[in-house]
Structure 1
Amino acid sequence: MKINGTSLHSCQAMGRLNPVLRCLGGIMLLAANSAMAREYYFSPSSLEGEALQRQNVDLSLFSRSGAQLPGAYLCTVVLNKDRQDDETISFISGKQGQLEPQITPAMLRKWGVKVDRFPALAALPAKKPLPGSLGNHIPFAVATFDFETLTLRISMPQEAINSQSRGYIDPSRWDDGMPVAFADYAFSGTQNEGHAISNRENQYLNLRSGINIGGWRARNYSTWNKTDDAASWRSINTYLQHDIDSLKAQFTAGENSTQGEVFDSLQYRGVNIVSDEEMLPYSQRGFAPVIRGIASTNAEVSVRQNGYVIYQQNVAPGAFEINDIYSTTNSGDLEVTVKEADGTEHRFTQPYSSVAVMQRPGKVKYEMTAGRYRAGNNSDASEPLFVQGSAIYGVNNLMTLFGGVTHSQDYRAINGGTGVTLGELGTVSADVTAAWATLDNGKQSDGQSYRLLYSGKLTATETNFTLASYRYSTEGYYSFEDANQKYDDEDNAWLFRYNKRNRLQASISQNLFGSSLYLNGYQQDYWATDKKERSVSAGVSTLIGKTSVHLAWTYSKATDSESDQMISLSLSVPLSEWLPRAWANYNFSDSKQGYASHNLGINGTLLDDERLSYSLQQSHTNHDGDDNSSLYGSYRSQYASLNAGYYYSSDSSRQFSYGVNGGLVAHPNGITLSQPLGDQFAIVNASGASGIRFVNQRGVATDWQGNAIIPSLSAYQENSIRIDTTSLPEDVDTDETAVTVVPSRSAAVSAEFTAHVGYRALIRLRRPDGNLIPFGAMATSESPAMNAIVDDTGTLYLAGVPEQFSLKVKWGNDASQTCSARVQLDSAKHTANPAGIRTAEALCQQEQHRGH
């Protein structure tokens, strides 16, 4: 019997030799393992046969275990099993072809290595690669690279690593930025026409300008307002500021405001030193409020603090939310005015105060000020010299002590208090301020003010208390601001004569059955009068199917005016199935005066990065029975943020609103226009390449000089700036796509990208004998500097090249294995390629050597 041609007898015979076969098999297995341990030579003829073998191409790099092409790779960095931020690192070929990372001292600092502990290492240039291996500079340190996962693993002795909190940024990495002069502006205007109202025009400019030189910051904050023919210009504050790194504090000289954590915030003209908590990592950190309201038409929202207009913006009809207030103080109530297109106004007060602050054990937060008090705008008050100091100290995990003193010629106050953590219930603090004042009329007055603050969350009910506070003042107590009011025997001086008694404020939010509820309110009353200030707002938001529903109610009562109330209902329905990135909305509002309005509209965004937004609205009001139509749009360009709106009423009145917000920055690389800057910003230079966009930066792109501004960076934290490679112009390519910057307070930092302005090209290379350049040959260009590998069809791909350039090609060590080519791109052949890739064929000629 045979099985596949083999007799059963033969099989039985082999079975009898089984012990021998097992022995031979073991010997062969050991031999195979030994062979596998050796480096094998990969024959090029396996790819292209004898033709390639005759050209003697050197592909030995690819035959070595672990060998890869050198270059820059975006890597995952793992230090002692702790993952760091991704980093683009350059690699060179080692002796055996393996990739060796080009690690710099700056990278080591970034990863938390104690570079200064090794003097020879600290003396090396921060951004140049270490000579030799990492272990030559830090004993027992090893860096290995896994190419398959693009992971750089670093083993580092524990004593060489900073024992810092999570998120720690070494102060040596804080960047004071480059010298710049800038202006950050917000300009808005409205023009009203119609027979029902008089023609009027209003314009407003909010201007923050500054100069940065080294670590010094000079700032001015001013506003300009024009109504018809009357215009006014006011400077709110001017100051000079500098970091004090060793104290984790800021030094300020000029006009500014105190923090207001122990005492009420005061405006001053003098000097101030205050601890800066943002210099600490997030894990070691212990408020401008969000303003919500309702607009019935295209409206103008103004926010005043201490009598100054600090914010003004045009909003579309419906509910609005303001969360980008640039406040001049850390406390001081905000007066919000909503001016409708028909001229009607609604006012309410947004309480603004600091929360109870608990400090970690042993941590101190402090502030010291010496200067002259600055009264609020249009305030008739004395402006004496004063000194003030305060401190908050963490005793242990449960208790914080705080206190302070204020002293001037006619006023003295001392404060003391404690904060206690309630665990899951939050934090509560209680303090008392005793004050002795000589008033403007010569009267001596003294008293006390007792304050209770609470912030936290009731876990059982998921109730969030953003801020809840109560203050009781005795009849003889005057705050420093109130004590400096002047007395003129007029009725409008009643705040001087009727000092504050009780003040209660709270901000509460609650999630219930999938809905979000909030309640904000405050009440202030006074001694010797029954007049009160009161403001309350409440609302609920929920989702029914895909429809968002918001119901809100507001109430406000000032001391010298009647109360005002408004209720509103808002519905928002996504229209993505018919119109991408669009929503239909309906708003209803009704006020105490009986003014009711219905509004129906469509909102949405357009363009690839949603930098264009629009709003179409139609409304009806029972006030004179008017029907109103409005159009509002905003556009984020690389030069500024623009907005415009048009409103028309059935009574033939109309309003046109417009605005532009942006920045202008003069820096060593030129002058750049931008979107609003924020406190810290980056100046990108992309080697003259224009049109480069960035990830998560709507509308931002490099200008004709190759510069761009990335606004609103986080101080003392890593900020990653990434190029949007999907939107690169067809004639631009870049070696790196991400840069990380760490700006100090108010810095303008530099972010450099090496961009190649040129074309993408496929180039086929031939030799004079007609043969293609062999697979694996390395082609290099000196101008621009780049390299690429020839594929199996004699073709290589290059990006960022000009129409004419030269190449040097090498595929071995012999002189006959080197040639040079002059490339001329064919502009006609790239049009059919959707990626805009140009093509070319070039003759690669052997270089002529002396003696030949």
Structure 2
Amino acid sequence: MDTCKFLILSSGLLFTVSAQAVEFNLNVLDKSMRDSVDISLLKEKAAIAPGNYFVSVAVNKNLISAGQELHWKANGKTVAVCIPAELADQLGLKENIRNALTLKEGCVDFSNHSAIQFTLDRADQRLDVSIPQAMLSWKSDNWMPPSSWDDGVAGLLLDYNLFASTYRPNHGEHSENINSYGTAGLNMGAWRLRSDYQISQNRNDESSQTTRGLSRTYLFRPLPALGAKLTLGETDFSSSIFDAFAYNGAALASDDRMLPWELRGYAPQISGIAQTNATVTVSHAGRVIYQTKVAPGPFIISDLNQSVQGTLDVKVTEEDGRVNSFQVSAASTPFLTREGQVRYKFAAGRARPDISHHVIDDTFASGEASWGMLSNTSLYGGVLAAGSDYRSVAVGIGQNMLWLGALSFDVTHASSTFDDGHTEKGLSYRLNYSKRFDATDSQISLAAYRFSEREFHSYANFIDHQYNDADTQDEKQTISVSFNQPITPLNLNLYVSALRQKWWDGDSSTTATLTAGYNFDLGEWKGLSLSTSWSTTRYEESDTDNQLYVSLSIPFGYSRRLNYDMRNSNTTSNMLSWSDASNPRNTWGVSAGVETDKPDNGSQFRGNLQHLTSLGDLQLAGSYAASDYSSLSASWSGSVTATRHGLAMHRRSFGNEPRIMIDTDGVPGVPVQGDFNETNRLGYAVVPMAGSYQPTSIAVNMNQLPDGVTVNESITRETWTEGAIGYKTVASRTGRDISVILRTPDGHYPPLGAVIHQAESNIDIGMVSEEGHAWLSGIKDNQQFDVMWGKNQRCTISLPNNLEHIKQQVILPCH
């Protein structure tokens, strides 16, 4: 029968739908087709037979479960899904509504809340749950309630960075450096064990020095019910009130990342200027927390974890050995808390005076909290006591002044008793301000002022006096500010940052950076950019280090650029460079230039290459300065993740962000989440970074699937806790695609709409069309499939051998 004729007749029948069901008059069909259509599939709108079904679950279109088995059971003339208590807990209902729901025969009873609707999308095998927003605990596109968070699976991990370099001057000692740092870890349920390591070997013509060790080992777990994180072991004391230090002990602290994005905190930004292919290392209390390679010119680091607090040490190591060091204040923005909320932190233990595992004798205990007293006013404060020698108390207020910005002010009193028996008491005052000017689109990211009396000591400063008194200075005054101003009509952006510090018994210092960027067109040349940066570091009664940098960049197509750079410091250099990023896996560049006051006019040549793979990232760089020196460097970063399901090497994960292992049923070469993650020979891939406590979608790149590979579910979306190893299976098949005609033993064929099911993997691979035609994809020799229709009616088909020799449609018997 003509297909169009059948569709027209079927469409006409749809207009006779009653409120309850559809009754088809089969007499309108040709007699030969009356037994060829599975009418049970069309009789009820969204009808489903009682039984167990494997489905994903979405609440208001947000996926909360990628797959679980649910039971549909008959209730009179209707069939309804049974929602177990565990799934009801994940729906994100308000606590009072969830507590009012009762359990009936193992299923949560939603009969008193008819506004909550459950609909099965059979095409996508998904249960859609519709819940009025007023019944949900929080509405956000980027946040799901804690009940839906996943702690992941147990496993081992290793995140590593490998660096190697050699420096060969024309005169002087040759030097070589090999170093590595990273993190090893173990996950068990919600608990995460982490250990940071550092290894370094430096060699020159006369000596060799090797250092190695574990800088810290700690255990932590999230506590979603408290909105907090518990940490045990060697960790850092991070506080918005008291100065930071390293210690061994325990901490329980509110975690802003568990809050919706709108309520989260602030992370510092670091900027500077590199003179060569330099290595930027960011440390906190002697522990490396960030290291990266930057090209000559201005750089900005804006992806530090927002939990970092206190003063950060930044070291810019040039490839010729020169080192520029400065500090960045990572103080928090004004301490504001939403009305009625309390944010807190408690910690106890023994301080570590240096990077070693040695701890001092006195045990400290601290507590701090912020309370949203009113809509725009917060009160905060804290106490810190150590043994019988140190006491500190702080109180403060934070005020949202609306169009005037946000302001916080606090006072800290400290009493310190030193080894010689004398006691010093003093006060420290601090003022923070933040403001965005909408009229000019200006942003004062952070402006802070702090003044400390002569006999005031923070606990970190008190420890320094006890163990390193000769080199310890007492802070008197600190001023820090950062300001950003875009000038849209001119395509210009200005950024200013400054930090000035004064000590009672030492010189003052000032560090400032001014950066301006300008984008413009010049005739047929589009997308040119001109940038300039000025940086100064000044110590009182010593020389001032000023640097000026000017760069002009000219695009050639989408991903190639010609650059001119001028840098002026103690010397002046002019460089011309070419960069090519047309191949996303291989980015390379070369440059040549001159520098004043250097041999042979300072002629220099440089080259660099970055190669990205699914196993990790490789960076190579080399330089040659005529009659001066030559250098080579290489780095490799990557990670290894192993679970009971499998093992995979992958691109490096950073910090304690979740990583997601994707299992494609042994199918290799499946691209996952971008161009640089694909399944290995065992069928595993790891997406190295997902956001903690925020819904993350993991997608298969359907356009780059290998030939003969079929994926049933291309996108999975879930929320993982900090440090989790997520595990998701993506039903994949590899094989051939063929067209078949199904025939029953009596010479007929299964009805239109019958489902072809693979029992082994519990997935549907196709559906019977008119006159027994079906398309089977991703199949292999000798496989068997069930063809199902009506009320438990079925037959079985078996595939032949040597499918690769089949060139035309195959007729398969269905027994």
Q: Report the TM range for the smaller structure's normalisation.
A: 0.7 to 0.9
Aligned residue among 475, 482, 491 for 2:461:
482
| Equivalent-residue separation in structure 1 for 2:417 and 2:17 (angstroms) | 95
Shift of 1:453: 0.9
**1:523-561 CA distance string (max 9 Å, x none):** 1112255x1111000111121121122211111134686
Shift of 1:568: 0.8
Q: How does 1:191-202 map to 2 (within 5 A)?
A: 191-196=166-171, 198-202=173-177
Equivalent residue number for residue 604 of structure 1: 581
Structure 2 residue identity aligned to 1:359: T
Equivalent residue number for residue 482 of structure 2: 507
Answering whether residue 370 of structure 2 is matched by residue 402 of structure 1, we say: no
Equivalent residue number for residue 705 of structure 2: 728
DSSP-derived class of the 2:196 partner: strand
Q: How many residues align?
A: 775
Q: 1:297 to 1:601 in 2, by over 3 A?
A: farther
Q: How does 1:516-535 map to 2 (within 5 A)?
A: 516-529=493-506, 531-535=507-511
Equivalent residue number for residue 832 of structure 1: none
| Equivalent-residue separation in structure 2 for 1:652 and 1:350 (angstroms) | 33
Answering whether residue 365 of structure 2 is matched by residue 387 of structure 1, we say: yes
DSSP-derived class of the 1:333 partner: strand
Q: How does 1:230-241 map to 2 (within 5 A)?
A: 230-241=209-220
Structure 2 residue identity aligned to 1:844: L
| Equivalent-residue separation in structure 2 for 1:119 and 1:272 (angstroms) | 38
Q: CA RMSD in A?
A: 4.1
**Contact 2:274–2:296 under 8 Å retained in 1:** yes
Q: 1:461 to 1:376 in 2, by over 3 A?
A: farther
| Equivalent-residue separation in structure 1 for 2:239 and 2:790 (angstroms) | 73
**Contact 1:741–1:749 under 8 Å retained in 2:** no
**Contact 1:556–1:563 under 8 Å retained in 2:** yes
**Contact 2:579–2:587 under 8 Å retained in 1:** no
TM-score by length of 2: 0.84
**Contact 1:115–1:121 under 8 Å retained in 2:** no
Q: 1:369 to 1:109 in 2, by over 3 A?
A: closer
**Contact 2:91–2:148 under 8 Å retained in 1:** no
| Equivalent-residue separation in structure 2 for 1:149 and 1:756 (angstroms) | 17
Answering whether residue 255 of structure 2 is matched by residue 307 of structure 1, we say: no
Answering whether residue 732 of structure 2 is matched by residue 755 of structure 1, we say: yes
Q: 1:486 to 1:299 in 2, by over 3 A?
A: same
Structure 1 portions without partners, runs of 5+: 1-31, 125-129, 830-838, 848-852
Equivalent residue number for residue 170 of structure 1: 145
**1:615-669 CA distance string (max 9 Å, x none):** 2333332233233222222233222222222223333732221111111222111
Shift of 1:136: 6.0
**1:70-113 CA distance string (max 9 Å, x none):** 9999999675xxx6459878999999x99988977666544434
Shift of 1:379: 13
| Equivalent-residue separation in structure 1 for 2:795 and 2:105 (angstroms) | 42
Q: How does 1:620-631 map to 2 (within 5 A)?
A: 620-622=594-596, 623-624=598-599, 625-631=601-607
Q: 1:311 to 1:204 in 2, by over 3 A?
A: farther
Aligned residue among 327, 333, 343 for 1:365:
343
Q: 1:344 to 1:144 in 2, by over 3 A?
A: closer
> Which structure has the larger Rg?
1
Equivalent residue number for residue 244 of structure 2: 265
Answering whether residue 623 of structure 2 is matched by residue 642 of structure 1, we say: no
Q: 1:559 to 1:749 in 2, by over 3 A?
A: farther
**Contact 2:444–2:484 under 8 Å retained in 1:** yes
Equivalent residue number for residue 569 of structure 1: 550
Structure 2 residue identity aligned to 1:262: I
| Equivalent-residue separation in structure 1 for 2:217 and 2:159 (angstroms) | 15
| Equivalent-residue separation in structure 1 for 2:461 and 2:130 (angstroms) | 62
Equivalent residue number for residue 3 of structure 1: none
Equivalent residue number for residue 424 of structure 1: 403
| Equivalent-residue separation in structure 2 for 1:822 and 1:479 (angstroms) | 77
Shift of 1:469: 0.6
| Equivalent-residue separation in structure 2 for 1:349 and 1:239 (angstroms) | 26
Answering whether residue 653 of structure 2 is matched by residue 674 of structure 1, we say: no
| Equivalent-residue separation in structure 2 for 1:171 and 1:234 (angstroms) | 37
Structure 2 portions without partners, runs of 5+: 1-12, 522-526
**Contact 1:91–1:99 under 8 Å retained in 2:** no
Answering whether residue 593 of structure 2 is matched by residue 619 of structure 1, we say: yes
Q: How does 1:487-502 map to 2 (within 5 A)?
A: 496=472, 499-502=474-477
| Equivalent-residue separation in structure 1 for 2:430 and 2:261 (angstroms) | 29
Q: 1:703 to 1:103 in 2, by over 3 A?
A: farther
Equivalent residue number for residue 187 of structure 2: 212
Equivalent residue number for residue 435 of structure 2: 456
Q: 1:746 to 1:34 in 2, by over 3 A?
A: closer
**1:362-395 CA distance string (max 9 Å, x none):** 2111222221111234999966432222221111
| Equivalent-residue separation in structure 2 for 1:317 and 1:535 (angstroms) | 20
Q: 1:86 to 1:279 in 2, by over 3 A?
A: closer
DSSP-derived class of the 1:736 partner: coil
**1:307-355 CA distance string (max 9 Å, x none):** 344333322333333334469952123222231x333333333332222
| Equivalent-residue separation in structure 2 for 1:800 and 1:739 (angstroms) | 21
Structure 2 residue identity aligned to 1:400: S
TM-score by length of 1: 0.81
**Contact 1:440–1:487 under 8 Å retained in 2:** yes
| Equivalent-residue separation in structure 2 for 1:264 and 1:337 (angstroms) | 24
Q: Whose RCO is larger (CA < 8 A, sep 6+)? A: 2
Answering whether residue 774 of structure 2 is matched by residue 796 of structure 1, we say: yes
Answering whether residue 165 of structure 2 is matched by residue 190 of structure 1, we say: yes
DSSP-derived class of the 1:461 partner: coil
**Contact 1:297–1:316 under 8 Å retained in 2:** yes
Shift of 1:68: 9.1
Q: 1:603 to 1:404 in 2, by over 3 A?
A: same
DSSP-derived class of the 1:406 partner: strand
| Equivalent-residue separation in structure 2 for 1:590 and 1:286 (angstroms) | 37
Q: 1:146 to 1:778 in 2, by over 3 A?
A: closer
| Equivalent-residue separation in structure 1 for 2:359 and 2:759 (angstroms) | 72
Q: 1:630 to 1:375 in 2, by over 3 A?
A: same
- Percent identical across equivalent pairs? 23
